[in-house]
């Protein structure tokens, strides 16, 4: 199994960094987790958008799904004439997506096969979901194939049941949006995001083998967030960056 970071900026794109999107590959199958603003352009460095086999959207905040809109154009309109089958698109709630794309709903039925998020099998992957603590319906994701596993927190504040959900993963991809605990600023609002220290604590309690911290805002010191998470986790910790590839 291979993870490729397509985009990893939190809340809005940074210079040369798209918002959240992560490509997970195994046995020739391409599973894309999220497609935030700017990510479709970055995705083309790794594969033809028509060759994505399934797309899971963790939640309907723009920095995790907005490039579904241009993807609806990119898949059926390449001049070479190859039009792929409708893309399985897993979403927590298709209502807002349909509203944004209302003008082209009939055409989009030929582009996307919209499905509800539910535990099951996607290609070669066993995929499980767990609701997170975030203002809209948001789902953490656990992906497994042939004894290897990775977890993706999506967006969440601290939530104890997620520790068990991610138990023993080979790789935890955890948001680390807010500064670490030792940053003496006003505490962040509850029910939104993890801070860098909490990301490390999540990985430590879950017994993850490796940690990748992500969803760090463009204005933040990425290395400071990474180091704070690693200090708590005590294991190998990487900061997500565009084109980062990790083999599990």
Quick one: pLDDT at residue 47?
Answer: 97
How confident is the model at residue 208, as a pLDDT?
Answer: 98
Q: How is residue 161 written in tokens?
A: 């049941």
Structure tokens given for 215: 């969803």
- The tens digit of pLDDT for each residue in 142-183 reads 999 999 999 999 999 999 999 999 999 999 999 999 999 876
User: Is the pLDDT score of 105 beyond 80?
Assistant: no
Strands (E), 45-97: 54-56, 87-91
pTM here is 0.94
pLDDT digits (tens, 9 = 90+) for 57-103: 999 999 999 999 899 989 988 889 998 999 999 999 766 666 666 55
Q: Which conformational region is residue 68 in: left (phi greater than 0), alpha (psi within -120 to 50 degrees), or beta?
A: alpha
Q: How far are the Cα atoms of 42, 192, 212 from residue 128, in angstroms, in the given order?
A: 26, 22, 19
Residue 181 burial (10 A CB sphere; 0-12, 13-18, 19+): middle
Residue 190's pLDDT band, with cuts at 50, 70 and 90, is: confident
Domain that holds residue 12: 2-247
**173, 137 in Cβ contact below 8 A?**
no
Residue of higher predicted confidence among 242 and 96: 242
Provide the pLDDT for residue 83.
87
With beta carbons less than 8 A apart as the criterion, state whether 245 and 2 touch.
yes
Which tokens go with 248? 């599990």
CATH number of the domain at 38, please.
3.60.15.10
- Contact call for residues 177 and 194 (beta carbons, < 8 A): yes
Distance of CA 42 to the CA centre of its chain: 14
Q: Is the dihedral of CA 52, 57, 62, 68 positive or negative?
A: positive
**Count of the separate structural domains present in the chain:** 1
């Amino acid at each position: 199994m291979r993870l490729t970071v397509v985009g990893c900026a939190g809340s809005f794109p940074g210079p040369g960094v798209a918002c959240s999107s992560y490509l997970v590959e195994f046995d020739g199958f391409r599973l894309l987790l999220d497609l935030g603003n700017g990510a479709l352009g970055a995705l083309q460095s790794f594969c033809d958008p028509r060759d994505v086999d399934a797309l899971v959207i963790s939640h309907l905040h723009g920095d995790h799904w907005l490039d579904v809109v241009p993807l609806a154009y990119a898949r059926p309109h390449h001049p070479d004439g190859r039009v792929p089958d409708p893309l399985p698109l897993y979403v927590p709630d298709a209502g807002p997506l349909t509203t944004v794309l209302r003008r082209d709903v009939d055409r989009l039925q030929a582009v996307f096969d919209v499905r509800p998020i539910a535990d099951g099998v996607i290609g070669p992957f066993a995929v499980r979901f767990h609701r997170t603590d975030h203002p809209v319906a948001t789902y953490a994701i656990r992906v497994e194939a042939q004894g290897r596993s990775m977890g993706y927190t999506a967006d969440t504040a601290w939530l104890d049941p997620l520790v068990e959900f991610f138990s023993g993963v080979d790789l935890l991809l955890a948001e680390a949006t807010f500064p670490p605990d030792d940053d003496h600023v006003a505490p962040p609002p509850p029910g939104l995001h993890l801070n860098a220290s909490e990301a490390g604590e999540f990985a430590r309690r879950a017994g993850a083998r490796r940690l990748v911290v992500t969803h760090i805002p463009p204005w933040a010191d990425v290395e400071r967030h990474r180091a704070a998470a690693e200090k708590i986790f005590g294991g190998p910790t990487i900061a997500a960056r565009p084109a980062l590839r990790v083999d599990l």
